[in-house]
């Protein structure tokens, strides 16, 4: 995996950054190195440990299997990351993904449309949900946590209303006694079950989206402006950044990413499972929080989020292979998140950590 | 600007890494010394045949949910039986997250076990993966999972028809034809769908007046059904009987009936049994008057025996159904039954200790 070079244009984050390192002692450099590479090291250690003890872990199949399994969580986590770049948070990602699953199923099974239409409908819905969040936060000025929590309930409720509280499956009986005309089409199921060369489609999407967002955030003026808004909206405004526009953009990007995560879930389940997406929110938020600290960057970033997701996939798969029950896996995830947050907030030399609108000094 | 405090990072990271590794280290030892559930297993009278006579046989058990009394007991029975047959079970629990179960099964197939057991799940989600496992030459046994293409798969289930029929016969005997009844269940689960078919037949034949139909299955089914039934009861306090064909739902229904002070006028009919269920049925003024029982521990064990016989080439059928019996509140009181162990004594047919057993593989429970 390519680790992105740290850009030097981090004045907006307000930290001394790498420039301070040249004058610091060896101890300080070692400390910074641990903050920066500690998580990568833990991930590599874990992978090495599982690869050594479990022959089935070290197969290419398993590598792609793990990445595929975590792809929806990672993509939703990248969505949360986008909201975090502007100093916000989005609690509606799980609901948006679940909405996407049901809407895709409805479009294909009840509406009898092909997969391509379902995908477009879902992506448009994702953008609309993001726009709704932006409307509540930017225009109605409701705090992000409360606004997106509200949206979460509204979307889950709307989904249940649309599908009468039912899971939509191919050839289901409708209220009037007839049978649903459509079914999940092969092109839609390809999103989960297909592969491009040897690489499963969800893995391709996961890596492509990560690379795209990395480029956007680290290599374009838009990215710098997003971070500027997250670090200090007022300063960004005075510097001429159109703050409201960037925040709207971030939430719409989040809605879009959540709906892509939902498309993958829908293709994996193969029916409009009403409970889909319920467990996605916490994992997505956890992944993006780990992402802030993983590479010692101290702010939301794409590769960090992706690495956080991979770490969770490695833990869940490895722990399962050695026979650890799921509740112990949650404990493991909790410890990793705890260590990540300690790195971000407690041990980091950086004075400003931009997470979920909370600025610590 | 204060000088940054110096913090021993390296030891901390080492600690974190060690903690993670230690965690996983614990796992293996605990898997080996996992306390076996209470067993009254008879000793095998013959040596294990191939493929069980060498290294442990690796079997992936892919579960939709392992939570709740029924599933916990089921898992305990499966583990106990696996231990007797020299099977190493790798268990995944999707916690009712169907996407997770698909991933679990996919990863199980990738790890090329000697066999796979799939416990519950959604047809549309799992059918393609099961077909893939069969194509990969991995023997598959499914439990309570409806398949559209069961070629090469051994299907097992509780006999849902016999379960629902037994309890509903009791319901008709108690409240008569034409009674006002409520129905609390969910669709999309193979077992519940099969029970629903029986229910619909009974409604038709006995001219039952269904005043409400509600219910759902979640990660906390019992508590999530209380508000639904509570509302339905407030609307229809004159309902005479409620059929709730899944014990987690039944418990929610009982709670809702009790909190509406309707225990004396509403009878609740459930399906499934566990120690916790027996406690609810035996409680004073409990509206839960009849349930249908298989012993989940015995079933979990019998599914593993099915697989073992299949791998040894001794299984003669491809669809195995485990029979159920109907148990009334009265029967439990008369026989002083307050736990499943006592129920096995009072109703020995539950233990399935003559089903699918051979001289090398006695029942574990």
Categorize the per-residue pLDDT at A357 as very low, low, confident or very high, splitting at 50, 70 and 90: very low
In this complex, the residue of B23, B98, B111 whose CB is nearest that of residue A273 is: B98
Peptide bond into B51 cis (omega under 30): yes
- Write down the pLDDT at residue B187: 84
Contact B247, B69 (CB under 8 A): yes
Categorize the per-residue pLDDT at B86 as very low, low, confident or very high, splitting at 50, 70 and 90: very high
Q: What is the mean pLDDT of residues B247-268?
A: 93
Which positions in chain B touch A65 (Cβ < 8 Å)?
A: 103, 106-107, 110
Which positions in chain A touch B28 (Cβ < 8 Å)?
A: 322-323
Identify whether A3 is part of a domain.
Answer: no
Contact B89, B50 (CB under 8 A): no
Neighbours of B364 (CB within 10 A): 28
When divided into structural domains, chain A yields a total of 1
Which positions in chain A touch B95 (Cβ < 8 Å)?
A: 279, 326
Categorize the per-residue pLDDT at A61 as very low, low, confident or very high, splitting at 50, 70 and 90: confident
Domain containing A193 equals: 32-172+179-356
List, for residues B188-222, the tens digit of each pLDDT value: 787 898 899 999 999 999 999 999 999 988 777 88
Q: How far apart are CA A1 and CA A6, in angstroms?
A: 15
List, for residues B27-72, the tens digit of each pLDDT value: 333 333 334 444 445 678 888 998 999 899 999 999 999 887 788 8
Identify whether A22 is part of a domain.
Answer: no
Alpha helices in A25-143 (DSSP H): 26-53, 60-85, 93-105, 115-134
Is a pLDDT exceeding 90 seen at residue A22? no
Is a pLDDT exceeding 70 seen at residue B365? no
Report how many Cβ contacts below 8 Å link chain A to chain B.
147
For the domain that residue A240 is a member of, what is the CATH number? 1.10.3470
Which positions in chain A touch B65 (Cβ < 8 Å)?
A: none
Q: How far apart are CA B71 and CA B93, in angstroms?
A: 10
- Write down the pLDDT at residue A8: 38
Residues 63-82 of B with CB under 8 A from A: 66
Under an 8 A CB cutoff, do A42 and B17 touch?
A: yes
- DSSP-derived letter for residue B113 is -
Which positions in chain B touch A34 (Cβ < 8 Å)?
A: 9-10, 12-13
Query: What is the longest distance spanned by two Cα atoms in chain B?
Result: 84
Of the candidates A280, A264, A276, the residue with the CA atom closest to the CA atom of residue A115:
A264
Identify whether A343 is part of a domain.
Answer: yes
Identify whether A297 is part of a domain.
Answer: yes
Per residue, the 3-state secondary structure of B81-100, as one string, reads: HHHHCCEEEEEEECCCCHHH
Share of chain A above pLDDT 70, in %: 89
Identify whether A25 is part of a domain.
Answer: no
List, for residues B125-136, the tens digit of each pLDDT value: 999 999 999 999
Categorize the per-residue pLDDT at B227 as very low, low, confident or very high, splitting at 50, 70 and 90: confident
| SS3 state of residue A111 | coil
Q: Locate the chain B residue with the closest alpha carbon to A332.
A: B20
Q: Locate the chain B residue with the closest alpha carbon to A54.
A: B111
- Write down the pLDDT at residue B42: 64
Of the candidates A123, A95, A96, A94, the residue with the CA atom closest to the CA atom of residue A107:
A123
| SS3 state of residue A81 | helix
Contact B277, B290 (CB under 8 A): no
Selected residue of A25, A40, A45 to mutate for chain B interface (largest B Cβ count, 10 A):
A45
Q: How far apart are CA A127 and CA B355, in angstroms?
A: 57
- Write down the pLDDT at residue A258: 98
In this complex, the residue of B16, B21, B66 whose CB is nearest that of residue A339 is: B16
Cβ of residue A31 closer than 8 Å to a chain B Cβ: yes
- DSSP-derived letter for residue A279 is T
Q: What is the mean pLDDT of residues A283-297?
A: 86
Q: How far apart are CA B231 and CA B249, in angstroms?
A: 15
B142: β partners: B118, B155
In this complex, the residue of B96, B110, B122 whose CB is nearest that of residue A65 is: B110
Q: How far apart are CA B240 and CA A330, in angstroms?
A: 44
- Write down the pLDDT at residue A274: 82
Distance of CA B229 to the CA centre of its chain: 23
Under an 8 A CB cutoff, do B107 and A320 touch?
A: yes
Categorize the per-residue pLDDT at A1 as very low, low, confident or very high, splitting at 50, 70 and 90: very low
Which positions in chain A touch B106 (Cβ < 8 Å)?
A: 65, 68-69
Under an 8 A CB cutoff, do B27 and A322 touch?
A: yes
Q: Which residue is listed with tokens 């509570």?
A: B230
Cβ of residue A328 closer than 8 Å to a chain B Cβ: yes
Residues 24-43 of B with CB under 8 A from A: 24, 27-28, 31
List, for residues A160-218, the tens digit of each pLDDT value: 899 887 778 877 777 776 788 888 999 999 999 899 999 999 999 999 999 999 999 99
Q: What is the mean pLDDT of residues B337-342?
A: 86
Under an 8 A CB cutoff, do A65 and B93 touch?
A: no
ipTM of the complex: 0.74
Query: What is the longest distance spanned by two Cα atoms in chain A?
Result: 77
Q: What is the CATH number of domain B160-293?
A: 3.40.50.2300
More confident residue, B178 or A319: B178
Q: What is the mean pLDDT of residues A270-277?
A: 85
More confident residue, A158 or B350: A158
More confident residue, B91 or A360: B91
Under an 8 A CB cutoff, do A167 and B188 touch?
A: yes
Share of chain A above pLDDT 90, in %: 53
Which positions in chain A touch B128 (Cβ < 8 Å)?
A: 193, 270
Torsion of CA B131, B135, B137, B142, to 10 degrees: 10
């Amino acid at each position: 995996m390519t680790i992105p070079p740290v850009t030097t244009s981090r004045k907006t984050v307000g930290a001394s950054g790498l420039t301070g390192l040249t004058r610091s002692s060896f101890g300080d450099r070692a400390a910074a190195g641990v903050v920066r590479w500690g998580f990568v090291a833990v991930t590599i250690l874990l992978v090495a440990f599982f690869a050594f003890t479990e022959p089935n872990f070290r197969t290419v199949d398993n590598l792609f299997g793990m990445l595929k399994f975590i792809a929806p969580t990672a993509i939703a986590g990248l969505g949360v990351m986008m909201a975090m770049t502007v100093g916000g948070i989005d609690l509606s990602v799980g609901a948006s993904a679940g909405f996407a699953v049901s809407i895709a199923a409805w479009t294909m099974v009840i509406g009898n449309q092909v997969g391509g239409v379902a995908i477009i409908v879902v992506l448009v819905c994702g953008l609309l949900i993001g726009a709704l969040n932006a409307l509540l936060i930017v225009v109605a000025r409701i705090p992000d946590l409360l606004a997106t929590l509200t949206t979460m309930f509204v979307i889950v409720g709307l989904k249940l209303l649309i599908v009468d509280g039912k899971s939509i499956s191919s050839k289901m009986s409708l209220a009037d006694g007839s049978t649903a005309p459509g079914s999940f089409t092969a092109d839609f199921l390809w999103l989960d079950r297909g592969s491009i060369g040897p690489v499963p489609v969800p893995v391709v999407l996961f890596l492509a989206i990560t690379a795209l967002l990395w480029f956007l955030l680290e290599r374009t003026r838009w990215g710098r402006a997003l971070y500027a808004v997250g670090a200090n909206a007022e300063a960004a405004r005075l510097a001429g950044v159109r703050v409201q526009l960037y925040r709207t953009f971030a939430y719409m990007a989040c809605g879009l990413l959540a709906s892509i995560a939902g498309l993958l879930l829908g293709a994996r389940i193969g029916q409009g499972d009403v409970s889909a997406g319920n467990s996605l929110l916490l994992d997505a938020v956890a992944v993006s929080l780990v992402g802030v600290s993983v590479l010692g960057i101290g702010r939301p970033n794409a590769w960090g989020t992706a690495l956080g997701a991979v770490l969770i996939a490695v833990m869940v798969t490895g722990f399962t292979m050695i026979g650890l029950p799921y509740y112990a896996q949650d404990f493991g995830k909790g410890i990793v998140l705890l260590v990540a947050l300690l790195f971000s907030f407690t041990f980091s030399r950086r004075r400003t950590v931009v997470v979920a609108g909370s600025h610590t000094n | 600007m204060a000088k940054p405090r110096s913090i021993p990072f390296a030891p901390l990271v080492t600690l974190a890494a060690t903690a993670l590794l230690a965690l996983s280290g614990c796992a293996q030892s605990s898997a080996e010394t996992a306390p076996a559930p209470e067993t009254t297993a008879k000793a095998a009278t013959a040596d294990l045949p191939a493929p069980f006579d060498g290294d442990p046989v690796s079997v992936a058990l892919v579960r939709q949910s392992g939570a709740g009394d029924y599933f916990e007991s089921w898992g305990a029975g499966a583990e106990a039986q696996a231990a007797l047959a020299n099977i190493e079970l790798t268990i995944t629990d999707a916690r009712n997250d169907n996407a997770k179960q698909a991933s679990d099964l996919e990863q199980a197939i990738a790890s090329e076990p000697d066999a796979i057991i799939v416990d519950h799940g959604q047809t549309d989600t799992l059918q393609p993966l099961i077909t893939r496992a069969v194509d990969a030459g991995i023997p598959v046994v499914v439990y309570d999972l409806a398949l559209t293409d069961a070629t090469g798969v051994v299907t097992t289930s509780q006999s849902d028809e016999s379960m629902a029929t037994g309890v509903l016969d009791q319901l008709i005997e108690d409240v008569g034809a034409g009674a006002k009844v409520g129905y609390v269940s969910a669709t999309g689960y193979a077992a519940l769908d099969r029970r629903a078919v029986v229910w619909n037949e009974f409604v038709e034949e006995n001219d039952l007046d269904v005043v409400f139909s509600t219910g759902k299955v979640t990660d906390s089914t019992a508590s999530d059904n209380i508000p639904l039934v509570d509302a339905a009861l407030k609307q229809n306090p004159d309902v005479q009987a409620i059929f709730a064909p899944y014990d987690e739902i039944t418990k929610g229904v009982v709670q809702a009936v009790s909190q509406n002070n309707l225990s004396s006028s509403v009878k609740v009919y459930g399906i499934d049994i566990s120690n916790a269920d027996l406690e609810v049925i035996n409680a004073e003024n409990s509206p839960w008057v009849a349930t249908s029982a298989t012993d989940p521990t015995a079933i979990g064990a019998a599914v593993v025996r099915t697989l073992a016989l299949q791998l040894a080439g001794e299984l003669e059928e491809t669809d195995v159904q485990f029979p159920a019996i109907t148990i009334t509140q009265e029967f439990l009181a008369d026989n002083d039954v307050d736990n499943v162990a006592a129920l096995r004594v009072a109703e020995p047919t539950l233990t399935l200790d003559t089903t699918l057993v051979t001289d090398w593989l006695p029942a574990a429970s």
